[in-house]
Chains A and B, each alone.
Chain A
Amino acid sequence: AQTVTQSQPEMSVQEAETVTLSCTYDTSENNYYLFWYKQPPSRQMILVIRQEAYKQQNATENRFSVNFQKAAKSFSLKISDSQLGDTAMYFCAFMKHGGNQFYFGTGTSLTVIP
C-alpha cells in the first residue's frame, strides 16, 4: 500500500518570500509519479507540478520547484516569490506507474501574508 504524509498542517509566508512544503511517502513501487496539487477556496484541484520517479532532475514550473529525494522518499515543494494568489491548501499525491488512482496526503494550508 502507498501512503503519503504531510507533516505541516498549516504554514504562512510573507508575500515575496520563499516557503517550502514537506511531503514524504512510502511505497514498494520503483516506477511512480509524484504530484503537488493546489486547492484554493474555489475547491478545484489544480496541478502545480509533477515529477516522474525515474527522472533524477527535479521538476520546475516557474516559481514552483521540487526537491525529490528518491532514496529518502521525500518530495518537497518550494514556492519562490510567494504571491497572495498562492494562498490555498496544497496536497502531495502519489500514483504508481500504470495506475489510475491518486494517493493524497492530508494537505498543508498555506497563507501568504501581505
Chain B
Amino acid sequence: KAGVTQTPRYLIKTRGQQVTLSCSPISGHRSVSWYQQTPGQGLQFLFEYFSETQRNKGNFPGRFSGRQFSNSRSEMNVSTLELGDSALYLCASSPRAGENTEAFFGQGTRLTVV
C-alpha cells in the first residue's frame, strides 16, 4: 500500500509568485490535513479537508488556500509569496474525519522563497 505522496519534494520560488503543492493520501483515506513547519514557529496546522470540504482552518492569512478533489487528493496554494513562507509543508492523511488519530504523514515539500 503506497504511503502519502507529496509533490514536488523541493521548490524554489520568488517573492510575489504563487505556488501549488500536491498531496495524494493513502488509498481509501478521505481526510487530508496540511501543516507548516519552520524553525521559528515549529509545526502549525493550516487546514483539513474531508470529502472535498474544508472542515477546519488554522490561523494563517487568506493567501493560504486549499482544496480537495473527489479522489481525495489535495492541493494547497500560497499566493503572493513572502520570504517567511519558506518552510517544510507536510501533509497528513487519515481514514476518516473527526478523529485523525490514525494520521500518516508524507515526506513534505520544502519551499524556499527568494
Contact = CB atoms under 8 A, between A and B. Distances in A.
Given A45-B90, A100-B31, A100-B33, A106 B42 contact: yes
Contacts of A100: 31, 33, 48, 50, 55-56, 94, 97-100
Contact of A101 (B33, B104, B106): B33
Interface in A91-107: 91, 95, 97-107
Contact of A91 (B43, B56, B98): B43
Contacts of B97: 100
A37 B35 CA distance: 14
B90 A95 contact: no
Interface residues of B, number: 27
Contacts of B42: 104-107
A42 B108 CA distance: 9
Nearest to A104: B43
Interface of A: 33, 35, 37, 42-47, 50, 91, 95, 97-107
Interface of B: 31, 33, 35, 42-43, 45, 48, 50, 55-56, 58, 88, 90, 92, 94, 97-101, 103-108, 110
